[in-house]
Amino acid sequence: GAVVSQHPSRVICKSGTSVKIECRSLDFQATTMFWYRQFPKQSLMLMATSNEGSKATYEQGVEKDKFLINHASLTLSTLTVTSAHPEDSSFYICSADPTGRETQYFGPGTRLLVL
Amino acid sequence: QKEVEQNSGPLSVPEGAIASLNCTYSDRVSQSFFWYRQYSGKSPELIMSIYSNGDKEDGRFTAQLNKASQYVSLLIRDSQPSDSATYLCAVNDGQAGTALIFGKGTTLSVSS
């Protein structure tokens, strides 16, 4: 159990376009999901906490208007990178926290390349 | 500022040896502790969780927790080349729905 999927696994886009990444919990419900970003050879950086039915909580330094998060159901959270630029190229990973538990399970990640 | 500290490594051990990975944390109220393994280019994978002082064993992995010393470790017995990865220590305050605080990870290299 505790499987988290992400789609797409890899995306290449032109600068200025928007990219949507989906994160789904396949076999459990998650009131909370987390979005991380990881640059090459660096540690995970928490971007935001996504709460079902309410606004996401963003970490300091993360632009909420650039990284739009929607958690419309107990199994789906989406991250939209708006007007992407080359510096947004990174590995985006979501994790989900099964309702009533503390353990987080990670999705396989989405590698974004902005040209 | 809550912090989790790990030696970045690399930690190099020969195949079959015991690899010992260490982690310290700053927040005394932390209640839950996790070890994740991350292969290069992949997302983290949960390998162990521990909540009480003492040892917890799962196959070749043993997690050790000492809350008084704010210290958690992971031992990997009979290390295999496939264990070569970055190991992330993570802690939280024991409440569901709160973000984990991650260390920067220790890179383990197991040579055959």
Find, among B27, B9, B2, the residue nearest to B84 by Cα. Answer: B9
Q: Cα dihedral sign for B105, A112, A89, A25?
A: negative
Q: How far apart are the CA of A109 and the nearest CA of chain B, in angstroms?
A: 6
Mean local confidence (pLDDT), A96-107: 81
- Cβ of A32 within 8 Å of Cβ of B49? The answer is no
User: Taking CB atoms and an 8 Å cutoff, what residues of chain B touch A32?
Assistant: 96-97
pLDDT tens across A9-49, in order?
999 999 999 999 999 999 999 888 999 999 988 889 999 99
pLDDT at B18 > cutoff 80: yes
pLDDT tier for residue A52 given thresholds of 50, 70 and 90: confident
- Cβ of A102 within 8 Å of Cβ of B96? The answer is yes
Q: How far is CA B36 from CA A45, A73, A83, in A?
A: 15, 27, 33
- Cβ of B99 within 8 Å of Cβ of A46? The answer is yes
Counted across chains A and B, CB pairs separated by less than 8 A come out at: 52
Q: Which residues contact B26 (CB under 8 A, 6 or more apart)?
A: B1, B2, B3, B4, B5, B70
Scanning A72-111 for CB atoms below 8 A from B yields 91, 93, 97-109
Mean local confidence (pLDDT), A64-85: 94
pLDDT at A104 > cutoff 80: yes
Q: How far apart are the CA of A68 and the nearest CA of chain B, in angstroms?
A: 19
Q: Considering only the beta carbons, identify the residue of A98, A103, A109 that sits closest to B34.
A: A103
pLDDT tens across B53-95, in order?
999 999 999 999 999 999 999 999 999 999 999 999 999 876 7
Give the mean pLDDT of chain A: 92
